[in-house]
Amino acid sequence: MEQGPGPEQQSGSQPSSQYGAQPPQQTIVQRRPSRAGFWIAIIFGILLLFSAGMNMILLVRTFMGLGAGMHGEFQPSTDEYYSDAGARDKIAVISVEGLINDVDEKTPFGTMLSQLSAFEGQLSKVRSDPRVKALIVEVNSPGGYVTASDEIHHLLANFKKERSDIPVIVFMKDVAASGGYYISAPADKIVAMPTCTTGSIGVIAMIINVKEGLDKIGVKVHAIKSGKMKDAGSPFKDFTDDDRQYFQKHIDGMYARFLEVVYEGRRDAAGWKDDAALREIADGRVFSAAEAKANGLIDEIGHFERALEVAKSEAKLTNATVVRYHYVPPPSIFGLGGANTTTINTGVNVNLNTGGLPEMDSPRFLYLWKP
């Protein structure tokens, strides 16, 4: 019985050769290059270039910082605020902004000057310019270190003696409290913003104690000392009555210095015959601008334009060019226009220098308003 044609013969395909069936035809598909890999390479290249550029900037700024440090030069920026027609005489404006400290901070991009160093540099520029006929000191600070505040006060008081022909006007902005008021006391006139907070005449020492917490976890700290008061105020021991009296004595001495500075600077303007009226208000409280004026702590309330008018009047000027000397901090990596600031909550928003508050691992004496 004959069999019918197979499936291949029915479909019209050629019969198989004697060597077996022909292999099926293969279709070659060419893959397109991955676009994801292309973009990854581009992004990697950009990051590499950015890194190289930042390293170059870091290197340049480091050498610039070293050079400036070797020469010991201070070059504050000078901006012209405005100028009356035909004016040759100048009114200089310098500032104290943020926490008052005296520690210069080394950074990879240069030296971040403390408020004390920056103020000294600005004041030096004013002193050396014979065209300056009046000085406005802008204060926007809740205070800070006791010694740094006293140093700035000393610089300003000496400037007044050396350049007695130049009236000094303090213009208080958001806050000029505690050390911020201390440095303002030598001024011939004090003008405060209507919204200014000032006062806080007093001293504070922040003493942290962790002994009770350490006792709970079984940690003991032993101090080997030469005298019983050597570790007074240590956070690792009980804060005794002797410790409190010991530190209160120091506080009282610094408070007496604060009263002396304010009394000497303000007694004539306030009409004080002795320091009794001052002591009544020098209990650490802060005042509004209106309250400060009523208590003799400031002379006038107004904005910057009013401070300029007072400066012109005190210097007997009709025309003047207003110039502002200010310290430009070194740039940070992501903010090349200037270094970052630290904000500390003092009840009023004030940008503080990166120095921040002093470390609290040991007692620190502060002319500082920090509610």
Q: Which residues are catalytic?
A: 178, 230
Tokens 């006139």, residue located: 189
168-177 and 110-112 strand pairing = unpaired
- Dist CA 356 CA 371 (whole Å): 16
| Cα-based distances in Å from 98 to 38, 58, 146, 174, 260 | 49, 27, 14, 11, 24
CA atoms within 13 Å, Cβ hemisphere of 316: 1
**Helix segments in the chain, DSSP class H:** 7-10, 35-71, 115-127, 146-162, 179-182, 211-216, 241-270, 276-281, 289-294, 304-315
Question: Which two structure tokens, joined as six digits, stand for 259?
Answer: 């009263």
3-state helix, strand, coil in the chain (%, to 5): 35, 20, 45
Contact call for residues 105 and 111 (beta carbons, < 8 A): yes
- Dist CA 194 CA 248 (whole Å): 35
- Dist CA 162 CA 202 (whole Å): 29
